[in-house]
C-alpha cells in the first residue's frame, strides 16, 4: 500500500486471486516462548496454514517497515534477537518513524491485517480486562481493536490470568460477537471451559464464514471472536491452573510487577510452576487455532467465487 507497509509477494498474489490468507502475530515469537521453541512454533503455524490451503501472513515491523508476510530469515531474526519491543496500536507509528523492529500484538496485527485486506487472524488468546481493573483500569488494547477493526480473530478465549467475566461484559458493550466453534462455553485458554457462555455456537467453518459475510453485507463494522477450545487431550485441569494462577498473582503483587509487565510475568511463572506443561498446551492451542482460521478463510474464499 505504501513504503511503510509491505505485503509479501506471495500474500499479495493470494489476496488478488482470492486465495485464503491467514494473519499471524509476532509477539508470540519474540515474547511468547524462549528460543528455539518460539522459532519452532512460528514455523509450525505457517506450515499448518499451508497444509490447510491458506497462505500465512506473519505480521511484524522490520527496520521501520510494517510487513504482512515474513521470510524465514525475518522470523529467525524475531526469534533470536533480544529486546524487540511489543507493538500495539499506540506504538506502530513511533517504531516505523524510528526505523525500529517491533513484534505485533493482537491489536496491531488486526490493524495490519485490515490494512492489507486479510479477514481472518489466528492467535493464542486475546488480552482482556485484568483482575483488579476496577482500581488499575488495566484493560488490553485488544478489546478496543476488536470493537473497531473488521477482522475475525480465532483464539482459545482470553488468557486465564484475566477477569473473564468482565472481559466478556466489555466485548458485549462494544458489540463484539463471541462465536463458539463446537462449544457453548467460552474457553479459558489452558482449559476448554470457563463457566461463561458464548453468544452463538457454530459447528462448521462454513457457518462462521456465513456470519462474516452477513456482517459485511449489512455494513456492520468491528471484529468477531471465534472461540476455539484447546483440544481436550492437551488441556490442563481447572484445579491445577487456578491454583497456579493464584500463586503467580500473589508473587506479582509481592514483587511489585505492574502494567504491561504483568502478563509476561504471570505466563512465565505459570510455565515454571507447571513444569513446562503450560508451554506445550499453549503451542497446541495455537496450532488448533491456525488450522481453524485457515478453514474459515477457505470457506470465505469459496463463498466469494
Q: Which of 25, 46, 114, 279 is catalytic?
A: 25
- Residue pair 122/290 in contact (Cβ under 8 Å)? The answer is yes
- Residue pair 209/257 in contact (Cβ under 8 Å)? The answer is no
Going by C-alpha positions, the residue among 39, 104, 36, 37 that lies closest to residue 65 is 104
Is 159 considered catalytic here?
yes
In this structure, are strands 102-104 and 120-122 parallel, antiparallel, or unpaired? unpaired
- Residue pair 298/15 in contact (Cβ under 8 Å)? The answer is no
Q: Which of 46, 52, 159, 279 is catalytic?
A: 159
Going by C-alpha positions, the residue among 293, 303, 245, 236 that lies closest to residue 53 is 293
The C-alpha atoms of residue 248 and residue 138 are separated, in whole angstroms, by: 18
Cβ within 8 Å of residue 242, ≥6 positions away: none
The pair phi, psi for residue 127, each rounded to 5°, is -75, 175
The C-alpha atoms of residue 220 and residue 208 are separated, in whole angstroms, by: 15
Is 25 considered catalytic here?
yes
Q: Is the dihedral of CA 105, 103, 125, 165 positive or negative?
A: negative
- Residues recognised as catalytic: 25, 159
Amino acid at each position: 500500500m505504501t513504503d511503510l507497509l509491505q505485503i509479501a509477494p506471495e500474500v499479495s498474489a493470494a489476496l488478488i486471486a482470492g486465495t485464503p490468507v491467514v494473519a499471524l502475530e509476532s509477539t508470540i515469537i519474540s515474547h511468547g516462548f524462549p528460543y528455539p521453541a518460539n522459532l519452532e512454533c512460528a514455523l509450525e503455524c505457517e506450515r499448518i496454514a499451508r497444509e490447510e490451503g491458506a497462505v500465512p501472513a506473519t505480521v511484524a515491523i522490520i527496520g521501520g517497515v510494517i510487513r504482512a508476510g515474513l521470510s524465514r530469515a525475518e522470523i529467525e531474526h524475531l526469534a533470536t534477537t533480544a529486546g524487540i519491543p511489543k507493538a500495539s496500536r499506540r506504538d506502530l507509528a513511533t517504531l516505523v518513524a524510528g526505523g525500529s523492529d517491533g513484534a505485533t500484538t493482537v491489536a496491531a496485527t488486526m490493524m495490519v491485517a485490515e490494512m492489507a485486506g486479510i479477514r481472518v487472524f489466528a492467535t493464542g488468546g486475546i488480552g482482556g480486562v485484568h483482575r483488579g481493573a476496577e482500581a488499575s483500569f488495566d484493560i488490553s488494547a485488544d478489546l478496543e481493536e476488536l470493537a473497531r477493526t473488521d477482522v475475525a480473530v480465532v483464539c482459545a478465549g482470553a488468557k486465564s490470568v484475566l477477569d473473564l467475566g468482565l472481559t466478556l461484559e466489555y466485548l458485549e458493550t462494544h458489540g463484539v460477537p463471541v462465536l463458539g466453534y463446537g462449544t457453548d462455553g467460552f474457553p479459558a485458554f489452558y482449559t476448554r471451559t470457563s463457566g461463561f457462555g458464548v453468544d452463538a455456537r457454530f459447528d462448521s467453518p462454513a457457518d462462521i464464514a456465513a456470519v462474516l459475510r452477513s456482517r459485511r453485507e449489512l455494513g456492520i463494522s468491528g471484529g468477531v471472536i471465534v472461540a476455539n477450545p484447546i483440544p481436550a487431550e492437551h488441556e490442563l485441569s481447572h484445579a491445577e491452573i487456578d491454583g497456579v494462577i493464584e500463586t503467580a498473582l500473589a508473587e506479582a503483587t509481592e514483587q511489585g510487577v505492574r502494567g504491561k509487565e504483568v502478563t509476561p510475568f504471570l505466563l512465565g511463572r505459570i510455565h515454571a510452576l507447571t513444569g513446562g506443561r503450560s508451554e506445550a498446551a499453549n503451542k497446541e492451542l495455537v496450532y488448533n487455532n491456525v488450522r481453524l482460521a485457515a478453514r474459515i478463510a477457505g470457506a470465505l474464499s469459496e463463498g466469494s467465487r
